[in-house]
Amino acid sequence: MNPKITKISSQKRKGRFNVYIDDHYAFPISENVMIKYRVFKGMEVDEKLKHELINADNISKLYSKAIDFLSHQLRTENEVVKKLSNFTEDDSEIETVINQLKDQHLINDQNYADSYVRTEVKKQDKGPSNVFFKLKSKSVSEDKIQNAIENFYSDEDAMDNCIVQAKKIFNKHKRDAFKNRVQKTKVNLIKKGYSTDTVISAIDALALEPDDEQQENLLEEQGEKFWLRNKKYDNQKRSLKTKQSLYRKGFNIDDINHFIDSKLNNF
């Protein structure tokens, strides 16, 4: 005769029970597993069934962990796998839970990619390339990423967002010479994931022009700083080093020469 369940008692945690076989504690079990396997007092339990019930309970607990993880926001399949690996080393249990979640449409990497791309387009920050690599870092397949970008990140969206970012970056560097402001804007836009063609078109669309008075004041201010810094040198070397510093800052060479001439004439 096989051993029998002699007692089933509730745990403090809701939906969890302790199972006793032949008056000895045997294993814990969830309410869902009890219902699925129709577990009851007096039920005969051989070793095979006992193992099956324990395995089913492990999967049930793992499934609950996954549901809790998914309750806060959308997750990729890889993110869920990584999370569940914190609770078990049994890959087959994780695979079982992942398949359950897929069947219930609770994880779907294409839906995740679509949602992520739509959100990033609305944020008007990342360009298509950065969106692509961000999703790839989450182990979303390239075909799903490309599909999402093609469907939800149009060339027009990229241009609009690039222009928005170009304005922000250009204004951020207002302490730089106009040439450097434009160059830094281009470099930062490319870093944000916009294509070179889109960046050039966005800059052209803004038709950026230097503020002559502001540039003159800025050159004067920075020129004085470099001129003072180089005071230990003779006039020739002092002039050369000041010119080099101002040129690296992006100022026009004629304006730089004019500044240097004014300093030398005042000696």
CATH class of the domain at 109-153: mainly alpha
Q: How far apart are CA 25 and CA 18, in angstroms?
A: 7
What pLDDT digit, counting tens, does each position of 209-258 carry? 988 888 899 999 999 999 999 999 998 999 999 999 999 988 989 889 99
Rounded to whole angstroms, what are the CA distances from 69 to 29, 93, 233? Answer: 21, 17, 65
The pLDDT value given to residue 13: 87
Q: What are the tens digits of pLDDT across the range 4-26? A: 989 999 999 888 999 999 999 99
- Order of all β-strands in the sheet with 24-30: 5-10, 16-21, 24-30
Its pTM stands at: 0.80
Own/partner contacts of 96-100, CB < 8 Å, gap of 24 or more, are: 96/59, 97/59, 97/62, 97/63, 97/66, 100/63
pLDDT-based confidence at residue 266 (cuts at 50, 70, 90): confident
Residue 139 is classified by DSSP as: T
- CATH code for residues 5-103: 1.10.10.10
Q: What is the DSSP letter of 62?
A: H
Confidence label for 89 from pLDDT (cuts 50, 70 and 90): very high
Beta strand extents in the chain (DSSP E only) = 5-10, 16-21, 24-30
92-140 residue pLDDT tens:
999 999 999 999 999 999 999 999 999 999 999 999 999 999 999 999 9
In this predicted structure, what is the pLDDT of residue 267? 64
pLDDT, tens digit (0-9, with 9 covering 90-100), for 25-81: 999 999 989 999 999 999 999 999 999 999 999 999 999 999 999 999 999 999 999
Q: What is the CATH number of domain 156-206?
A: 1.10.10
Question: How much is the pLDDT for 185?
Answer: 97
Mean pLDDT for all residues in the chain: 93
Mean pLDDT for the stretch of residues 167-178: 93
**pLDDT value of residue 121:** 98
